[in-house]
Amino acid sequence: MKMNRIGGSELLVGEIGLGCMSLGTEERMAIGILHEALDRGVNLLDTADLYDAGRNEELVGKAIRGRRDRVVLATKVGNRRVPGRSGWSWDPSKAYILSAVQESLRRLGTDYIDLYQLHGGTLDDPIEETIEAFEQLKKEGVIRAYGISSIRPNVIREYVARSGIVSVMNPYSIVDRRAEEDVLPLLRESGISVIARGPLSSGALAANREPDKGVPDYELEELVRLRVRLEPLTNDGRSLTQLAIRYSLSHPAVAATVPGASSREQLILNLAAADVPELTEDEVRLVRSLSIANRYALHR
């Protein structure tokens, strides 16, 4: 698998990682998928303290036991669960980040995190305080690098200008091209890598299933028509899944993509994208001519 550096960090990751949110909570199944991914060359695992109330981190921690040195471990912080209440609240304070990282370390069974990411963010946050927390953790060796996971261009611009982030996790796919207008060019110019999530848009672009609902900017009928229009690009053994993942990787700002998988079969289909050629410039232009050049309407 092709390896890429995340921003200006020392983190080298395979271009296709694993988004762990879809693993579920059944231990044997989840750990089996994680081990399969690692055995097939995946080294970037992306989780979050929010997923399944911390259970996801625990499963990832069990799966990497004895393999920690082979893994670039990414997790996230900022969504705070309040005991006795359902749901969670947003807390990007320094005190909470310094506390939450200790719980993530415990669940993951490790003494350091490779990539620690703010799981959201708004302009109303105490941004300098948040940055201080990440910088302190990096200085202490608790984390190797930090980034943000955000869909808000206005927040991304603030962190690009004021922090030492090495990455931005952002949704990017054939049917979600919002980042192309200004986020991806800004990050490429700034030497900050994109980790593209949702390359298959929750299965809307998966080869082995027919969509049963639309996605933002596409009604179901439009989505079905798009899949048909993309068929000429899926010849020569390239599936729609592979095409979609290769499109997310086609932008030079993108270092890796992290499709999720809830079964071994899904994982294998996703990872097969590493074995097909990169899209040519003509193919990228064709995909863009067939799909909607959607744009951010909020948080610009």
Residues annotated as part of the active site: 51
* First-to-last C-alpha distance (Å) of the chain: 35
Strand partners, 176: 173
d(CA 295, CA 300): 10
| DSSP state string for 2-54 | -EEE-TTSS-EEESB-EEGGGG-S-HHHHHHHHHHHHHTT--EEE--TTGGGG
Torsion of CA 7, 8, 10, 12, to 10 degrees: 30
Burial class for 189, CB neighbours closer than 10 Å (0-12, 13-18, 19+):
exposed
In which residue are the tokens 């593209």 written? 196
In which residue are the tokens 């719980």 written? 103
Answer left, alpha or beta for residue 114, where phi above 0 means left and psi between -120 and 50 means alpha: alpha
